Amino acid sequence: MSSVDYDWDPTRPTISVADPRLTRLLLREPQRCATLGEYAQACGIDTTRVVELLGSYLDNGTLSLDFFGDEVFVNTAPHGRPLPEASADVPPNLWESLRSRVGVETAYALWRILRSLERAGWLVEHRLHRIMFGLGRVQDAPYLGVKVGQVVVPTMIFPTAEMLGREGGLLDQYEQAGAAALAVVCDERGLDEAVTAVRRWVLGRKAVPTMSVLVLESPRYNPTLLSPGDAAMAPVAVTRDTLGNYFW
């Protein structure tokens, strides 16, 4: 599982459409959008107009449209990378980045969770090299991370208690990788189970871990912090604005 490998190719023509707003999105802010609707909203135009503007690139295979659920996603590398010689140079967008690691169905689910976290006020990172910057290798790499101050916290999506606390499980892996914190997204009313799993993990270790755990209960994703330095392992309800004061 790796992120998209992209380097600008000066020998290729650069993708350009009749609307400068859309051209700017495609070239300067490629990770901002995934669906036709998102491109349309960002540019202030109708989705049918976006399709018209992209028409020649859709026709020659530089771009393609992926349909899933009620959404239409723009794929910036339908034939993979490196791009075919006849294709214009186009940076990977959000959808391509998600699709580079998983299938369409899982990418769609990740996109929905990412947008849901953003609506709740979180800044979300999906590029693996940025999420894991400065950390050691892990067996179960994250698909998303939430930004706390200047740091990206690796985020696990709906893991079971067994996945979290077993020997060699998620908590063990990220503690050994040197993570200051690990975020866990849990289902609604799943907060107690997640907190219990973290407590059992801490109490079952010979040495007190240094990693904090941040539990985000859907659908509001309000943060609950568990710090292993607290002997009682009492969960603390915090806000996104003050969270950075707790573990860096």
Give me the pLDDT at residue 248, please: 56
Range(s) of the domain holding residue 57: 20-100
237 and 155 inside one domain: yes
214 and 177 inside one domain: yes
Instruction: Please count the structural domains in the chain.
Output: 2
246 confidence band (pLDDT: 50, 70, 90): low
Cα–Cα distance measured from residue 144 to residue 166, given in angstroms and rounded to the nearest whole number: 22
180 and 95 inside one domain: no
236 inside domain: yes
10 inside domain: no
Give me the pLDDT at residue 5, please: 63
63 inside domain: yes
SS (H, E, C) the chain: CCCCCCCCCCCCCECCCCCHHHHHHHHHCHHHCCEHHHHHHHHCCCHHHHHHHHHHHHHCCCCEEEEECCEEEEECCCCCCCCCCCCCECCCCHHHHHHCCCCHHHHHHHHHHHHHHHHCCCCEECCHHHHCCCCCCCCCCCCEEEEECCEEEEEEECCCHHHHHCCCCHHHHHHHCCCCEEEEEECCCCHHHHHHHHHHHHHCCCCCCCCEEEEEECCCCEEEEECCCCCCCCCEECCCCCCHHHHC
pLDDT in tens, 91-147: 999 999 999 999 999 999 999 999 999 999 999 999 999 999 999 999 999 999 999
184 and 215 inside one domain: yes
Give me the pLDDT at residue 195, please: 94
Q: Tell me which of 75, 100, 125 is where a domain ends.
A: 100
216 and 154 inside one domain: yes
**Surface-to-core class of residue 65, CB atoms within 10 Å of its CB (0-12 exposed, 13-18 middle, 19+ buried):** middle
161 and 126 inside one domain: yes
164 and 195 inside one domain: yes
Asked which of 126-130, 211-215, 237-241 is least confident by mean pLDDT, the reply is 237-241
Residue 231 has pLDDT above 50, yes or no: no
- Indicate if the alpha-carbon torsion angle 16, 19, 23, 24 is positive or negative: positive
